[in-house]
Amino acid sequence: FDDIAQCFYFMGKFNEAYEFIDKAIEIERDSEMPMVRKGQFLEYQGRVKEAVEQYQLTAQEFPTVEFARNKVIELSKIL
């Protein structure tokens, strides 16, 4: 579902991308990648506040994911 979401995102079909990434998050509970990817989708669309919130959720769920923690710091400077 994560890969399908990414394909839809790159095709500009954002509603479908978010539908599939949310499904990936739901079924891949042991993987941080779908959560990170959703943060990236939001960030790339300029939805910075929502991206920060998503990266924060990712960091809470997966404390060892340095990428998410760094993105929270980086994007919080923009807000």
pLDDT tens-place string over residues 8-53: 999 999 999 999 999 999 999 999 999 999 999 999 999 999 999 9
Residue 60: band (very low, low, confident or very high) from pLDDT cuts 50, 70, 90: very high
Assess whether pLDDT exceeds 90 at residue 79: no
Assess whether pLDDT exceeds 90 at residue 73: yes
- d(CA 67, CA 26) in angstroms, rounded, equals 21
- d(CA 39, CA 42) in angstroms, rounded, equals 5
Predicted confidence at residue 19, as pLDDT, reads 98
- d(CA 17, CA 67) in angstroms, rounded, equals 21
